Structure 1
């Protein structure tokens, strides 16, 4: 185990790799806004021009509003927190500031929004920058939460409400090793946090950054103070730039951004062209008043350092609070910096008119609005503007033009401004991501059905994801589905309850009677319980069917694997692709080699596809002819060796003077089958307690089949079983087959450590030793099980070996094309209530 000393060694520290020329982008965003639980609801409220400020008793009784305006912007819920998911014990979770709890939630969401599994960031040099605005004594005193301050539990008040821990708690929870900083510059805090994050990324101090912020209005005390000094609007509305403006209305917001370098990002909401901060310094008008000249200087420095022509800026999102002091100063700064020699008015936004002033987190509201603009190519309207304040001449004279209705936006660079009561100013330039969308981006099921995996804390959470996909066809495209894929591969953090519910959604396209097409959605949700342990079974003969490769050829990995098998067979003048894609129902029956090669090639390609999906297998099972593909999965054989093994096995059987034979499945026990088999017939495969495959001479088999049918015993011939496989009659081909296999497999590679169950070799469960079946000191391998399999019975089939080894595993997948052993698996593992059995793919009806 690594120690703290080892972590400090220079050779073990990760050295950041960065490029000063690589753009920094916003790749993820998540937030809670007034009356908006997420960015979609926020966008919907903005474009519907809804006033998100309300008057109700969600924070305190309305009768406490005596003497103050009762309106404020409020989050829908702040009282819920999944402590077991975020590894937080109950007492601490109860003592935690709701802002701290929601910051953890939105951090997780922002990372997922960027298409990243949060667990992959553990140990990374990811910085955390949280901007907030604190008010003296706003947290109260510990006796408000604990009756006796001498009790040790009272210390939780410190750990739960300390603002210093906002950033540190995120770094701890997600195991992030970059800077972890709290920033409080009053109302400009979140924009200053953004600037700090961008600067640290450009200097290589962190690889990516989380920019968080929060503001909740939980008690009326500060509202009374703000009212007494004339900051709050008399009607509870931010009337920015308007002659009726008389202050702002308080509001709430908690949320996060994820910043990445463009070369690393899977999605781009906006490029941060540049961000800077400065301070007013001394000014004769006093500490608490904004100063237009310093704001103007900052704006000019920002676009000059970025090499941006100010006339390129077509839209500017202002700080705009609706105060008599702030609005005129900011308007003068904007006009002086951006409107020299401008021919058309500069469009002006003020999102505080829509949702109020969330103080330290107000910068996130502005950035969130700009992202909404970029995504929808439209600017949401400002609210509560009727007539410009006469003192703001640049608005009166139409140099700056407030956006009063939803207005089309063609993209480009926009300015975002913010300033704090102490004189700290922040300014950023954001550029839209104008990548042209692929016209086929909404063809999510062409040419094959789409599988969507999801996980959640509850079945309702998984259904919520699937419901969104079904009900929002204009938002669900290939990029969206690709982005949610990685976060769904979720591993629970240490101490976390994780996601105990998993589900999958299959989206298919169906053609209706009138020729129109529609999508169908089929979902399945299960309780995972714990991480599944998967076993993969390769079955044998009887699974082949005409054109069986066609449905999966649209998947590149599957097609590439089959083509590689075909290339290996070309020198032997064997056309594998024609065989697998043929419509001729007799093609697979023309000789013995065709079904052998077809089955092995398909199983190899299916296994390669499962590997692409990163499915981990606890063990693999080879049954009958499925031993060949099983050996490939076990890394005993290369793809070329496996397909040539099947080819030569078929060719040698064809050329040998073997008696005609047959295979059949019967519904008898292994013991009863052995007793009842007449001369010329043997019990070949032990599949289950009442499922056995028999093998023998053709005429003898026909008579025995008729006899069993007359006794109402289940019996079914196995397709492709034209010879008495797994019987002593196959001894005739063993020497020739072994000689050919020694040429195809001159020196087998070492096995992988995955346990492998062979149903024709004792002991049944192979050792984990990588060379258990082969002596690497010999120039040629001894008789391998691939030859042994040809003439020996499959002793125990799907029955668990001694000690019930397989009973501890959860999921059994039959890598086959007809469901041979689903019922046998279900029977044999019936006592394992958490087991499930699947087969893939299925022969179409």
Structure 2
């Protein structure tokens, strides 16, 4: 039987809002039982039912906007469904996956829950039935809603076997994984105490604990104490989880399910069936009872139940063994979670195996001697049990009132494989074993609204600040896998956890941080601009080479392509930090190497250019990036160009002038040896010629108030002195193909059409002026980039683009902007593009040793939306005496409500049935035509949205949470409010349902057409 890995989990139990709080509760032996909340029921009205139990603090909270659920539907939805949706998202995040990444996958959902109180409470009066209540009251919809909202296409089902429901759901999920029906499964259960009804049943059966507490295996045990909560685990086949490097809490080795059959009562436990299911589970898991270190028992704390369960366990585990089998039941801490009892026990066991310690059992100090635990090879834990090294096996039992029993066998996770570190190649002057301390990472976060982003920034800041100081790279890598996919994106670079915590806090203080961006509706359109001559400097990109394994790899590859032609390592020249990099033989190959390596590094990170442009020598790297030249061919041409240049006489230079070509041309009349070498913009011109002549021009320009500065070059490029280099290139046979990307030619000053990049092109490109301004203008006009990304060792082209006016509304980025640039600037470039909509190849940014999962705080949902979590009495009670449904009794008092939860005036509606709290009177819509006003009224009525949220641009499906049923309701209400349009067919209506405004415009046209 194939092992199943528990790779993620989430839970919310009384006194424990998440898994960390749950573990803390267990380790301190906490008691989660408290009084019945006033908003549930009054214990005085139900004598015989204990006035205490385990209750969630926020069972009525639901972030409806996050799941695009309208307020009216959220209020009609069973609280079990709402809790499961939150928990499913958090569990998937805990598994190391962004939940959105599973959309369209065959992920299965298996949910255990029992009863069906919500349906009885809300659908008991047929006149109040609505489509939303119909869907909201179905147990089967509990799993289906998760599959729907997450777009999961695998098996999706709810299980009701009473108290064993959630562990049976896990058993079924594991079977589906083994059968290949799904590759990932969500499994667990939920229970909400909506009324005292089942408590009355327990009391009548003599099963209710007097103080509302379960006391498993204790001499004081006197029955069941009810409780509620939700828990889900994410399951995968162990081989898949290991292959994907997921964190594994524990391994499910095997499980079994059986039935009591016809025993001494349909609700009475059967020792022999319990014994059989334990033995079957051990056979399937391939273990023997003596290997089991501890059993998390069903342990309800009823005298009969505990006695029968201990007899069954003792008959299996009472074998010769080195030490007794530990026995416990989480019901001593939480109470009996009924349909969710099994998942509470399973999560406790998984956490115990993960932390390698078994919590002590409450009430162990008063062990029931009649259970004969010691004689049966078992013991209760009065203090935590530390687990030894190596594999530990544990088991979990869960039994249903109707006789469905299940038993699961878990084991500790296998040791993770050791990640291999990157080592720099032999001969590299900058050593680089990775991971390095302080490697820069990008921490990402996403949310559905700016407010949610701020809320989660604060939560992550608190979490990061509470961790031991250290590198942030693993946290960043984990965030890239988990915290992406929602509309509002945040990304910031960090080297250590203290820096990251400060950045998160600072970002949360801003309205919309500079490190965040609103809904990126499309991927960024990036143009690569390759820097030309004059940008070379000693040691260029050496800090980046030291920091980035990815850049190291690509610079090494380009160096290997150049070496056979150059006869030396240009990498050593670049990284050596000496002045050799300025020598004619090395300067151009070095610049080409940096440009190609940076472009390839960005491509490996998922940054694909939409167009390329190269300034002078930069056009060679642009041609390689565009697929017009392969790397070896371009390397040969660049080395050939440098070799010819090396043999030319020195003495020439270049002068950058802050003026246009026309005013400069007047001065050139007196200097015939000087040429215009580059037209970089309306106020940026480069001159080339003898140094003495350029010095005279510099003084003359200064006298006219024009700034001019010499460039750090060895020759007068793009001028007659370099004509021999052009002629040498013209004779070369060049193996080139048509570019696969739009290519802005600085030779022609436009986008390249059919012209070949042959020897003649490269000869003219070396001899003629660089038409950068015209080429960039054409690139921007024809490819509409959102970002200009300069590729080179220091910024040159971005300032030119800005002064020329080509960068208006565009973001300029540079991954290596100067001598001190490290891996941080590269990471900041990726972060900026991610905020703009890019989904980078995040793994490429990190050394292998830093690609290890870290648990991050799960998504913090909005807690401002409260919906009723129960209806008391035989009929729904109203929520307000001022809006009381006819014929219902007076309501109990409630605290003030929030206006955003007020539904529309539909009758019978959710306020009238008491399913949602009422709000203040709705404001009148102003400055709107009658058709738009009618549409807004209909939307408010159908969806229950506050009027101020129903804006023209609000989208029906994404923003207002409408579905097909609600669309039909909307159609009916619009027709009744606008009788002059008559009946509108669904086919007519659907194209107009993009937003409230588009629907209003469509209906307005119909009204006008009817009037005409």
| Mapping for residues 753-764 of structure 1, pairs under 5 Å | 754-762=741-749, 764=750
Change (3 A) 1:656 1:80: farther
Residue 454 in 1 paired to residue 430 in 2?
Answer: no
CA offset at residue 436 of structure 1?
6.0
| Mapping for residues 78-227 of structure 1, pairs under 5 Å | 78-136=59-117, 139-142=120-123, 149=128, 154-227=130-203
Change (3 A) 1:799 1:631: closer
1:469-508 Cα offsets, whole Å, 9 max, x none, are 3432389887665444323453xxxxxxx33122123115
Residue 765 in 1 paired to residue 751 in 2?
Answer: yes
Residue 469 in 1 paired to residue 464 in 2?
Answer: yes
Query: What is the match of residue 492 of structure 2?
Result: 504
For residues 32 and 678 of structure 2, the distance between their equivalents in structure 1, rounded to whole angstroms, comes to 71
Which structure is higher in strand share?
1
2:776/2:806 contact within 8 Å kept: no
Residue 841 in 1 paired to residue 819 in 2?
Answer: no
For residues 814 and 687 of structure 1, the distance between their equivalents in structure 2, rounded to whole angstroms, comes to 15
Query: What is the match of residue 699 of structure 2?
Result: 706
Query: What is the match of residue 623 of structure 1?
Result: 615
1:654-697 Cα offsets, whole Å, 9 max, x none, are 2245x632234333345544555563444444445544444333
Look up the SS of the partner of 1:486 in the other structure.
helix
1:807/1:829 contact within 8 Å kept: no
1:374-405 Cα offsets, whole Å, 9 max, x none, are 2322222222443112331216x583222232
For residues 118 and 394 of structure 1, the distance between their equivalents in structure 2, rounded to whole angstroms, comes to 45
Question: Normalising by the residue count of structure 2, what TM-score does the alignment of the two structures yield?
Answer: 0.71
| Mapping for residues 206-605 of structure 1, pairs under 5 Å | 206-265=182-241, 266-267=245-246, 268-284=248-264, 286-394=265-373, 399-410=377-388, 411-435=391-415, 445-446=436-437, 448-457=439-448, 458-473=453-468, 481-490=476-485, 498-508=486-496, 522=503, 525-530=515-520, 531-535=522-526, 536-554=528-546, 555-572=548-565, 573-584=567-578, 586-589=579-582, 591-605=583-597
Q: Which moved more, 1:272-281 or 1:61-70?
A: 61-70
CA offset at residue 634 of structure 1?
1.0
Q: Which moved more, 1:431-440 or 1:411-420?
A: 431-440
Structure 1 unaligned regions, length at least 5? 1-20, 491-497, 511-517, 775-780
Residue 43 in 1 paired to residue 23 in 2?
Answer: yes
CA offset at residue 521 of structure 1?
6.3
Q: Which moved more, 1:610-619 or 1:302-311?
A: 610-619
Change (3 A) 1:49 1:603: farther
For residues 687 and 82 of structure 1, the distance between their equivalents in structure 2, rounded to whole angstroms, comes to 54
Query: What is the match of residue 793 of structure 1?
Result: 769
CA offset at residue 143 of structure 1?
7.6
Query: What is the match of residue 933 of structure 2?
Result: none
CA offset at residue 407 of structure 1?
2.7
CA offset at residue 114 of structure 1?
2.4
1:174-206 Cα offsets, whole Å, 9 max, x none, are 333322222111111111111111112222232
1:134/1:186 contact within 8 Å kept: yes
Change (3 A) 1:540 1:482: same
1:417/1:428 contact within 8 Å kept: yes
1:363-383 Cα offsets, whole Å, 9 max, x none, are 221222122222322222222
CA offset at residue 785 of structure 1?
4.7
Query: What is the match of residue 899 of structure 2?
Result: none
Query: What is the match of residue 635 of structure 1?
Result: 627
CA offset at residue 318 of structure 1?
1.2
For residues 270 and 836 of structure 1, the distance between their equivalents in structure 2, rounded to whole angstroms, comes to 47
CA offset at residue 58 of structure 1?
7.0
1:210/1:259 contact within 8 Å kept: yes
Change (3 A) 1:549 1:421: same
For residues 176 and 167 of structure 2, the distance between their equivalents in structure 1, rounded to whole angstroms, comes to 14
1:533/1:618 contact within 8 Å kept: no
1:444/1:450 contact within 8 Å kept: no
For residues 537 and 360 of structure 1, the distance between their equivalents in structure 2, rounded to whole angstroms, comes to 61
Q: Which moved more, 1:690-699 or 1:797-806?
A: 797-806
Change (3 A) 1:353 1:566: same
2:443/2:477 contact within 8 Å kept: no
CA offset at residue 631 of structure 1?
1.4
Question: Normalising by the residue count of structure 1, what TM-score does the alignment of the two structures yield?
Answer: 0.84
For residues 239 and 804 of structure 2, the distance between their equivalents in structure 1, rounded to whole angstroms, comes to 51
CA offset at residue 242 of structure 1?
1.0
Look up the SS of the partner of 1:430 in the other structure.
strand
1:534/1:617 contact within 8 Å kept: yes
1:466/1:505 contact within 8 Å kept: no
Look up the SS of the partner of 1:264 in the other structure.
helix
Change (3 A) 1:801 1:98: farther
Query: What is the match of residue 722 of structure 1?
Result: 714
Change (3 A) 1:480 1:49: farther
For residues 189 and 537 of structure 1, the distance between their equivalents in structure 2, rounded to whole angstroms, comes to 61
1:507/1:522 contact within 8 Å kept: no
Residue 751 in 1 paired to residue 770 in 2?
Answer: no
Look up the SS of the partner of 1:27 in the other structure.
strand
Change (3 A) 1:478 1:166: same
CA offset at residue 538 of structure 1?
1.8
For residues 476 and 277 of structure 1, the distance between their equivalents in structure 2, rounded to whole angstroms, comes to 46
1:534/1:813 contact within 8 Å kept: no
CA offset at residue 335 of structure 1?
1.7
1:107/1:212 contact within 8 Å kept: no
2:539/2:576 contact within 8 Å kept: yes
CA offset at residue 699 of structure 1?
1.6
Structure 2 unaligned regions, length at least 5? 422-433, 505-513, 821-1012
Query: What is the match of residue 12 of structure 2?
Result: 32
Change (3 A) 1:98 1:520: closer
For residues 314 and 157 of structure 1, the distance between their equivalents in structure 2, rounded to whole angstroms, comes to 47
Q: Which moved more, 1:600-609 or 1:105-114?
A: 105-114
1:588/1:595 contact within 8 Å kept: yes
For residues 351 and 120 of structure 2, the distance between their equivalents in structure 1, rounded to whole angstroms, comes to 33
Change (3 A) 1:427 1:541: same
For residues 289 and 596 of structure 1, the distance between their equivalents in structure 2, rounded to whole angstroms, comes to 87
Query: What is the match of residue 998 of structure 2?
Result: none
